[in-house]
């Protein structure tokens, strides 16, 4: 299992799409986190911790109300994380374990923005980091989200610094150029993981010569 991470506007989503196109299995931590919040055992703990006020009259979780309470208090946010994170970790290990056991995929990844911050990287055999320069990321956030320069800077500064993440990475994919260069970098890293780098280079050389 390989951990895949990267900060906002690094291009991680594009890398994920390419990995899937290459046949890899990619477990999305964000998707899993949205799923586990509806698990009965998780809902029961949320009710015990936050009370019935975060539930709608029909008994379903009022995610908007829960979010408003959690984001206004670090203590409540920590309490919610304490409920959900162990379940998210367990679910990610389950789905990736099943993918590995199936033998259907050449590589299995966990895509998580907070891979390192959550400590999940310690459960991965290797870590890939998708990164780009700060100026590049600021420009992308401004163009993509219509954010101001100050807002873009604030979003980046709220995350773990890229330099710190590099210390945990076995593979760093730089994404300061265009899509073509990014795809080439992903492909090279993918086949290197499969120990097929020399083979791919030979195929490419034969193609170019012909």
Which of 119, 114, 111 has the alpha carbon at shortest distance from 1? 111
Residue 108, beta-bridge partner list:
25
Q: Provide CB contacts within 8 A for 129, sequence distance 6+.
A: 5, 6, 162, 165, 166, 168, 169, 171, 172, 173
Mind listing the pLDDT tens digit for each residue in 148-189? 999 999 999 999 998 899 999 999 999 999 999 999 999 999
pLDDT interval class at 136 (50, 70, 90): very high
pLDDT interval class at 87 (50, 70, 90): very high
Mind listing the pLDDT tens digit for each residue in 165-176? 999 999 999 999
Amino acid 199: pLDDT: 47
The model's pTM is: 0.85
pLDDT interval class at 10 (50, 70, 90): very high
């Amino acid at each position: 299992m390989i951990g895949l991470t990267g900060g906002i506007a690094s291009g991680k989503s594009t890398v994920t799409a390419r990995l899937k196109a290459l046949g890899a299995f990619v477990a999305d931590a964000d998707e899993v986190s949205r799923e586990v919040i509806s698990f009965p055992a998780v809902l029961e703990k949320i009710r015990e911790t936050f009370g019935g006020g975060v539930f709608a009259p029909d008994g379903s979780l009022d995610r908007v109300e829960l979010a408003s309470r959690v984001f206004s208090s670090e203590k409540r946010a920590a309490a919610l994380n304490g409920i959900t994170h162990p379940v998210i970790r367990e679910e990610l290990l389950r789905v990736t374990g099943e993918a590995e056991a199936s033998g259907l995929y050449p590589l299995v990844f966990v895509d998580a923005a907070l891979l390192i911050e959550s400590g999940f990287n310690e459960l991965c055999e290797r870590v890939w980091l998708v990164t780009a320069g700060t100026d590049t990321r600021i420009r992308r956030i401004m163009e993509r989200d219509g954010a101001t320069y100050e807002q873009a800077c604030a979003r980046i500064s709220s995350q773990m610094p890229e330099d710190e993440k590099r210390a945990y990475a076995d593979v760093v994919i730089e994404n300061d150029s265009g899509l073509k260069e990014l795809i080439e970098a992903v492909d090279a890293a993918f086949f290197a993981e499969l120990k097929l780098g020399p083979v791919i280079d030979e195929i490419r050389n034969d193609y170019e010569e012909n």
